[in-house]
Amino acid sequence: MADARKRPDLGETRPIVGSPLKHDSAEKHVAGEALYIDDIAEPAGLAHAYIGLSNIAHGRLMSLDLAAVEAAPGVLSVLTAADIPGANDISSTHKHDEPVFATSAILHHGQPLFAVVAETREQARHAAMLAKATYDEAPPLLDVAAARTAGGELVTDPLKLERGDVAEALAASLRRLKGSMAIGGQDHFYLESQIALAIPGEDGDMLVQSSTQHPSEVQHMVAQVLGGGAHAVTIEVRRMGGGFGGKETQANLFACVAALAARKLKRPVKLRPDRDDDMVITGKRHDFVVDYEIGFDDDGRIHAVDAVYAARCGWNADLSGPVTDRALFHMDNCYFYPAVRARSEPLRTHTVSNTAFRGFGGPQGMVGAERFIEEVAYATGLDPLEVRKRNLYGGEGRETTPYHQPVEDMIAGEVIDELERCCDYRSRQQAIRAFNRESPIIKRGIALTPVKFGISFTATWYNQAGALVHVYTDGTVSLNHGGTEMGQGLYQKVAQVVAQAFGIGLGEIKITATTTGKVPNTSATAASSGSDLNGMAALDACETIKKRLTDFAAQHWQEAPEAIAFLPGRVRVGAREIGFVELIQMAYMARVQLSATGFYATPKIHWDRKAGRGHPFYYFAYGAAAAEVAIDTLTGEYKVERVDILHDCGNSLNPAIDKGQIEGGFIQGMGWLTTEELVWDEKGRLKTHAPSTYKIPVASDRPRIFNVALLENAPNREHTIHRSKAVGEPPLMLAISVLHALSDAVASVGNHRFCPQLDAPATPERVLDAVDRVRALAEAAR
Amino acid sequence: MHQPAMRETVRFLLGDELVEIAACDPTRTVLDWLRLDRRRTGSKEGCAEGDCGACTIVVGRLDGDRMRYEAINACIRFLPTLDGCHVLTVEHLRNADGTLHPVQQAMVDCHGSQCGFCTPGFVMSLLALWLNERTLSVQRIEDALAGNLCRCTGYEPIIAAAQRMDAAEREADRFVATMPAIIARLKALADGETISIGDGERHFYAPATVEALAELVAAHPQATLVAGATDVGLWVTKGMRRLDPVVYLGRIGALRTISDEGDHLRLGAMANQIAVRDALAGISPQLDEMMRRFGGEQVRNAGTIGGNIANGSPIGDLPPALIALGATLALARLRHREERSDDAIQGNVERAPLDRFASLAMTAGNVGIERRTIALEAFFLDYRKQDRQQGEFVEAVLVPKLPAGTLFHISKISKRFDEDISAVCGAFYLELDLADRISEARLAYGGMAGIPKRAQAAEAALIGRNWNEAAVAASIAALAQDFTPLSDMRASAAYRLKVAANLLRRFLIETTAPETATRVAGLLAEAAHG
């Protein structure tokens, strides 16, 4: 069908890398033709599984009567832990603390107890409600305070970062203050809920279509529960309907249950939880309590920070170790602390097991850092932006992070200055103060906050990737790599890299679904690393093939290899030009291998967790945002009116996709810090388990004035793929500007003399409480 | 009474295709039918409760001689309720030559999709806008998309796509061009028969007249009456309830009628929230604003005023407003000939005077139908319990217009501004006498008790006072006697009490110092306009 392929203009002046091309699936998205797992043509004999859940948060399972479940219409089978041929264990960090099905200990409300398989999904859902479980109920520990009171059991070893003598530096500081901040969690609310479709094959083979960011882990988990080798399990995912970290480990359960059912029944089995069950079962962003003490001087310079980061981790470890580590790695944001001590407290609670979520603890660490700045600003009477600037990394002896990695690519100062100028920050601040003097009820606020985000998995071995590239004899290319597509445009970016490498059009490249059968031992598509790792791996494969083609051409036409160059659609060989397809066909006839794997391992990085020292990040991504808000001091309602963003993508691989990541990440972060509130009742039941009760931003929540610019002429100083920078997570933290703009508006009711200490999420209720608190402080000070 | 003929099939147009269904689970959702039975997988299930919009389809229905196309949530719409409709899904949009529809193209050009899962729903919401409206303000676009959640893009490129849809191309649009043919086909399908369809186990009825409805409800007192199904849909998709039988009210044109009766509006129970908004906007711009924020566009299209009231939710947005306005409900049921009519009605029920009955009479006359009116506030007895007697249904809501010299206010306070349920809703009505003293006060709140409820102590504290800060202070002091609200996921009791009081302060400021900005919504737009 070569004639049906699109042959885009291969204009030589406009390289494909760096072009604002549309998402590879854009046309399919808008036509409803992009296939998600629930859309794939269903195999014959498909059955449907559904998971039955505990309805207490803590205790022991005394009995589980499934007779009514088994007898329900359409039911084919019921699965409990006894039906697992392998291990009843899907602990992603190998702590053996996450069974597929509970056998005795119940550790959170909504913990899977069994699964039922029926002819239809509706029958399976109905049947799952018919189980009769009895429990010996124990009081649940639901939050950080309760877990601490009960002794503070940790799910994993805590981390301590320390540099300098904090006690001494605090004692020597002119001024000191202590405080505490609560930072809420966040549900991922990917629009496509968790789903898996397992298809049994011969010899114990199992193919699972899984909506996962981490096919290799799902592969290992499925093999582990089935009791076989990873080589018998293939995991495939063409695209997810959103992931955001929520499908890094949380897809394991659904894939494993589907595979167990498929194995038992010898039929294909699909498992898709209802939205409410998805939200009840799966982990979320960790909520934190940060307790801090800061030493500083009258000029707003921070001398010492001592802080403890306690996180509600939920019932098992999952990724809570690395998440709380990353909170500590970002407890500095862009600021140098001359002496610092930071400790994590990853607490076990009887709630869902919190997990990866865009930023992976970094946002919570940075929210704490900005609170420190704000505390110092109000204590000294200085403008918060001035305090930010005075504490930035940079200058003699001011470049070492709390984890002893120097910040070598610091550009936050330039980014802040440029944004401050472009968005007219100072004069708007004046105008807002003037408005507030005249407006007794509605108050406006403005804030500018920077972002510095470390790029690399802190689990150093994760920083590797593979790719597989085939060139067919008609010159078309099949592209595969270990990264997964969840909307972030990774497939498109990597395809652009490959197209440019060969000098062919994107229409010549078939982007293929991620599968463990083609590229093995992959890392999760996470930590913003997708295009850095997979772009490089794919380029490596292309370079291997190009080297073979170059050698062939050099030999065939008796030219030096240096005389051979790949141009758009053709190859220059000395004075000749050969069409790309022609060269491929000649190479094939000459028995040149036209397929290659590619591999990449991020250089430079290392990390010694015990010592709290190392170079965990290859580089940092920067940005800054200025937000302006209006609040209603009678109700706490607010509106984000204007946001200006300047963000560092290095040399962007695709500015349209990167802009989409910045805007979308910002709004997601804004939701986290404003209206997205997770509420559990005293029994440990999640009360915000559906969009009717859990409120992510809608269209009208985005700022009406929303100026987003990519930092220009700022190539990555490190040798990343085309000198670009990772963009998945960093923009989320630009939204911290909204929290601080709200805080600024609140502070106006106390004439900016009292720190509002606005916790997150800053719901209208929290804003109103802060208004009343600041008013009371101002009254008392009279 | 004449029993209309029964039709035992459901008929509608799916694009150009005439679909006839002879057997059907009465609560089969349109989304499941599309995805599972017809393998049209473009429409997605994101939440199965009508909140995310990933399942949005466009349903056209005859409105006199024209078509009215509405975006609705397929996940909570029951399949047999599509009878007589023209159904469009995302798969219908590509042009015959394979090119994208202008609405789709605008989304592609503006980078309006990332993961793409919500995208078909957005496309269909935009299609409804495209088919219905020529000029689109940003506000209007935001309203039309309030029922569509996107977790990836942050909405900016989708708003840009909506603005890019070229109105000039609309005239040449094939959906517009084929509309007359669709109208003719739907008219040919329209009949006055009662639909009766089932799956052998459970049953679905859709009468076409009030009389047929009254007979069905009398014959099946356990029936679930379904209007827009924006709540009943969740009983099925979330509660897994097996409703039997279902009586759908959507075919009864007479129940959709809205009429101006001079001093009051008469809103048919099946008037949807879009039509209700248009009608109530004439009474107060604050009602207009409140209704603008009612659910998402899909819910406003499907949801009805009668459903919102008869459902009895403690946090429904309309009841507080309507109670403050002094609205009454018109209830109807089949007359039990063996009963003396005055035995049928007891308690705090106000018999409608005969002359009022005359104005309520349906075209078919009120022979065989027994009607009463009741003050709306008396209808709500307790949490989810209403004064609806056996066989009775809400026929209309009568909303008095504001007399001159009265003060009216409504505020909806929610965690998220759009498409959220009130934490507190306050609706206030004051009458002042010639000496500017408060002679009548109705302070109605939602979210403060198990039912929408008036603050009687706070009202009493106002009577006889001038409308000023002292009056508000006295009223607020009394408010604590009126309510002991709950703490839940929407707000704490303390916040609810604080806001309930502050809304009275807002009311005073807005009525006595209107130059003071008191609301954050629209502030920037106003400032921009200078």
Between positions 24 and 83 of A, the ones with CB within 8 A of B are 25-36, 38-39, 41
Q: What is the pLDDT of residues B124-135, one digit of tens each?
A: 999 999 999 988
Select from B116, B145, B148 the Cβ nearest to the Cβ of A241.
B116
Domains of chain B: residue spans and CATH: 10-191 (3.10.20.30), 256-400 (3.30.465.10), 406-512 (3.30.390.50)
Question: Are the CB atoms for A694 and A189 separated by under 8 Å?
Answer: yes
Chain A residue with CA closest to B102: the answer is: A30
- Give the pLDDT confidence score for residue B95 in this predicted structure: 93
| Alpha carbon distance A596, A599 (integer Å) | 10
The alpha carbon torsion through B307, B312, B318, B324 (nearest 10 deg) reads: 130
Q: Is A4 helix (H, G, I), strand (E, B) or coil?
A: helix
CA of B88 to nearest chain A CA: how many angstroms apart?
13
| Residue A751, both tokens | 């004439």
| pLDDT on residue A506 | 97
Closest CB to A631: pick one of B416, B490, B520.
B520
Segments of chain A assigned to CATH 3.30.365.10: 288-458+609-781, 464-601
254-313 in chain A: CB under 8 A from chain B: 274-276
A 648-707 residues inside an 8 A Cβ radius of B: 656-657, 659-660, 663-668, 675, 677, 679, 687-688, 690-693, 695-702, 704-706
CB contact set of B25 (below 8 Å; sequence gap of 6+) = B79, B199, B202
Q: Give the active site residues of A.
A: 729
Q: Where in chain A is the domain with CATH 3.90.1170.50?
A: 46-138+194-272
Given a contact cutoff of 8 angstroms between Cβ atoms, the answer to whether A446 and A744 are in contact is: yes
Residues in chain A, overall count: 782
**B340 band by pLDDT with thresholds 50, 70 and 90:** very low
pTM: 0.96
pLDDT, tens digit, 9 for 90 and up, residues B435-457: 999 999 999 999 999 999 999 99
Tokens 């002119």 belong to residue: A174
Cβ-Cβ contacts under 8 Å, A243 against chain B:
115
Reported residue count of chain B is 530
Confidence of residue B195 (pLDDT cuts 50, 70, 90): very high
Q: Is pLDDT above 70 for B399?
A: yes
CB-based contacts of B360: which residues, under 8 Å, 6+ apart? B266, B330, B352, B366, B371, B395, B396
pLDDT value of residue B525:
56
Q: How confident is the model at residue B337 (pLDDT cuts 50, 70, 90)?
A: low
Architecture of domain A46-138+194-272: Alpha-Beta Complex (3.90)
Taking CB atoms and an 8 Å cutoff, what residues of chain B touch A667?
A: 153-155
Spans of chain A below 50 pLDDT = 1-13
Distance (Å, rounded) from C-alpha B131 to C-alpha B137? 15
The beta-carbon neighbor of B94 closest among A31, A630, A764 is: A31
Residues sharing a CB contact under 8 Å with residue A14, sequence separation 6 or more, in sequence order: none
CB atoms within 10 A of CB B141: 24
Residues of chain B with C-beta less than 8 angstroms from the C-beta of A33: 42
CA of A639, closest CA in chain B: separation in Å?
6
Q: Where are the beta strands (DSSP E) in A331-476?
A: 339-348, 442-455, 464-471
Contact B119/A at CB under 8 A: yes
Question: What part of A 451-510 touches B (C-beta under 8 Å)?
Answer: 486-489
A6 at interface of B, judged by CB pairs closer than 8 A: no
For residues B352 and A478, the model is more confident at: A478
**CATH 3.60.20.30 for the A464-601 domain, yes or no:** no
Q: Alpha-carbon dihedral of residues B457, B461, B463, B467, nearest 10 degrees?
A: -130
Q: Tell me, what's the pLDDT at A319?
A: 98
Taken in order B245, B246, B251, B257, the sign of the CA dihedral is positive
**Which of B27, B32, B90, B114 should we substitute to test contact with A (largest number of A Cβ atoms within 10 Å)?**
B114
Q: For residues B341 and A226, give the distance between their C-alpha atoms in angstroms, rounded to a whole number.
A: 71
- Count the alpha carbons within 13 Å of A318 in the hemisphere toward its beta carbon: 34
**Cβ-contact B23, B200 below 8 angstroms:** yes
Residues with Cβ < 8 Å from A582, sequence gap 6 or more?
Answer: none
Q: What share of chain B is helix, strand, coil (3-state, %, to 5)?
A: 35, 20, 40
Which chain A residue has the Cα nearest residue B110? A22
**Non-local CB neighbours of A310 within 8 Å, separated by 6+ positions:** A144, A148, A288, A289, A290, A291, A344, A345, A347
Our CA-based measurement puts residue B41 at a distance from the nearest CA of chain A, in whole angstroms, of 6
CA angle A646, A648, A651 (to 5 degrees): 130
Contact A530, A725 (CB under 8 A): no
Angle ∠(B242,A110,A144) on CA atoms, nearest 5: 140
- Distance of alpha carbon A224 from alpha carbon A84, whole angstroms: 10
Average pLDDT over residues B1-7: 71
Interface residue B503 vs chain A (CB under 8 A): yes
pLDDT surpassing 50 at residue B530: no
Tens digits of residue pLDDT in A723-754: 999 999 999 999 999 999 999 999 999 999 99
How far, in Å, CA of B74 to CA of B79, rounded?
Answer: 9
pLDDT at B365 over 70: no
Q: Name the residue among A125, A635, A677 with its Cβ closest to that of B499.
A: A635
What are φ and ψ of residue A563, in 5° steps? -85, 5
Check: complex ipTM more than 0.85: yes
A165: left (phi over 0), alpha (psi -120 to 50) or beta: beta
Q: What is the pLDDT of residue A644?
A: 98
Backbone angles phi, psi at B522, to 5 degrees: 80, 0
Q: Give, as one character, the DSSP assignment of residue B404.
A: T
Q: What is the pLDDT confidence band of residue B171, given thresholds at 50, 70 and 90?
A: confident
Residue of chain A with shortest Cα separation from B416: A675
The CATH number, out of the four listed (3.40.50.300, 2.40.30.10, 3.40.50.2300, 3.30.365.10), of the domain defined by the range A288-458+609-781: 3.30.365.10
